Amino acid sequence: MLKVGGASVGTIELPDEPTVVVHGAGPQISREMERRGLRPRFVAGRRVTTPEVLEIVRESFAEVGSAVCAVIGPRAVPLFGDEIGLEARQVPGLGLVGEPLPCAPAALLDVLHAGRVPVVAPLAAGPLNVNADEAAAALAIGLGAERLLFLTDVPGVLHDGELLETIEAGRAEALVGDRSFEGGIVPKLLAAAQAARGGLVAEIGATAVVA
């Protein structure tokens, strides 16, 4: 299970075992919102999503998903989470935003069984916009994956200027709680902590998050 960022697709090296790729599109969504005169707003790493913003989200996911599939090659199959049954509970006060729930959509399993690579855009049934990091963790747990790897444009988790080789899930959550981390690393840490507690090997770049 890989979660790739939306800022730059770059190159993607897939493991030998069956792999699901979940991608975001944060920078593309924000740029398009600003172009249309809309101000991006976030609460705890989740984008406040109106129906107008959701339209931009879907368009941006399609753009990034196509780019990711082009990098992976002909084995890649683009999927929208809301079309394959990704489940989520709506988060109050954020509009059309959901907190994804562990699940194993049948359409995703079909792609894996065919020996191909699902490339999932993180929308949930509703439709609801869900954070890509949270979606990756929910799918990894639901599928019974062995490993969840977050690919980002940073080397790993940095704390007080130091790159951490490992961080315990409880410590990660405590540091998030006291605001030692801000921005995009927050949902990654929380998602990795959830995955680690679910028995997965969870890594953010070079940092292992352990139960």
Q: Which tens digit of pLDDT belongs to each residue from 10-63?
A: 566 677 789 999 999 999 999 999 999 999 999 877 899 999 999 999 999 999
Confidence of residue 8 (pLDDT cuts 50, 70, 90): low
Any idea what DSSP says for residue 85?
Answer: T
Separation CA 137–CA 204 (nearest Å): 12
pLDDT of residue 3: 67
Taking the alpha carbons at both ends of the chain, their separation in whole angstroms is 18
- Are the beta carbons of 191 and 22 closer than 8 angstroms? no
- Are the beta carbons of 100 and 122 closer than 8 angstroms? yes
- Are the beta carbons of 23 and 68 closer than 8 angstroms? yes
Q: Strand, helix or coil at 194?
A: helix
In sequence order, what are the beta bridge partners of 97?
129
* Identity at 26, one-letter amino acid code: G
pLDDT of residue 153: 79
Separation CA 97–CA 100 (nearest Å): 10
Nearest-CA neighbor of 195 among 159, 116, 142? 142
What is the mean pLDDT of the segment spanning 103-117? 96
130 contact partners, CB below 8 Å, separation of at least 6 = 81, 86, 88, 97, 98, 99, 100, 122, 123, 124
The structural domains of the chain, ordered by start, are 2-210 (3.40.1160.10)
Separation CA 144–CA 157 (nearest Å): 25
Q: Which tens digit of pLDDT belongs to each residue from 114-146?
A: 999 999 999 999 999 999 999 999 999 999 999
pTM of model > 0.75? yes
91 contact partners, CB below 8 Å, separation of at least 6 = 46, 97, 98, 99
Separation CA 137–CA 187 (nearest Å): 10
